[in-house]
Structure 1
Amino acid sequence: MAAECSFDIVSEYDEQELVNAIDQARREVQTRFDLKDTKTEITQTKDTIVINTESTLTLKGVRDILESKAVRRGLSLKIFKPGKEEDAASGRVRQVIELQQGIAQDLAKSITKTIRDKYPKVKPQIQGEAIRVSAKSRDELQAVIALLKEKDLPVPLQFINYRS
Structure 2
Amino acid sequence: MAKENTFDIVSRVDMQEVRNAVDQSIRELRTRFDFKGSKSDIIFDGEEILLVGDDEFKLKNVIDILETKMVKREINLKALRYGKIEPGAKDTVRQKVSLVQGLDKDRAKVITKLVKDSKLKVQVSIQGDQVRISGKNRDDLQAIIQIIKDHDFDIPLQFVNYRTY
TM-score scaled to structure 1, two decimals?
Answer: 0.96
Q: Distance in 2 between matches of 1:23 and 1:149?
A: 31
Aligned 8 A contact 2:5 2:138 in 1: yes
- Provide structure 2 residue ranges, at least 5 long, that are not aligned to the other structure: none
State the alpha-carbon separation in 1 of the partners of residues 46 and 24 from structure 2.
18
Q: Which amino acid aligns with 2:27?
A: R
Asked if the contact 2:39/2:92 (under 8 Å) is kept, the reply is no
Shift of residue 119, structure 1, vs aligned partner: 3.3
Q: Is the 8 A contact 1:52 1:95 kept in 2?
A: yes
Report the counterpart of residue 155 of structure 2 in structure 1.
155
Q: Secondary structure at the match of 1:84?
A: coil
Paired position in structure 1 for 2:91: 91
What is the Cα deviation at residue 81 of structure 1?
0.2
Residue 130 of structure 2 is matched in structure 1 by 130
Aligned to 2:74: 74
After TM superposition, the score normalised by the length of structure 2 is 0.96
Q: CA RMSD in A?
A: 1.0
Aligned position for 2:16: 16
Name the structure 1 match of 2:47: 47
Describe the SS at the equivalent of 2:90.
helix
The 1:119–1:33 alpha-carbon spacing in structure 2 relative to 1, beyond 3 Å, is farther
Q: CA deviation at 1:32?
A: 1.2
Aligned residue pairs, count: 164
* Structure 1 segments of 4+ aligned residues over 2 angstroms from their partners: none
Local SS of the residue matching 1:111:
helix
Q: Is the 8 A contact 1:119 1:140 kept in 2?
A: no
AA at the equivalent of 1:21: A
Q: What is the distance in 2 between the residues matched to 1:77 and 1:42? A: 17
CA distances 1:41-99 after superposition (whole Å, capped 9, x unpaired) = 21112321001121100100010110111011010001110000000012110000111
Secondary structure in structure 1 of the residue aligned to 2:84: strand
Q: Secondary structure at the match of 1:50?
A: strand
SS at match of 2:75: coil
Q: How many Å apart are 1:35 and its aligned residue?
A: 1.8
Per the TM alignment, residue 131 of structure 1 is displaced from its structure 2 partner at its CA by: 0.4
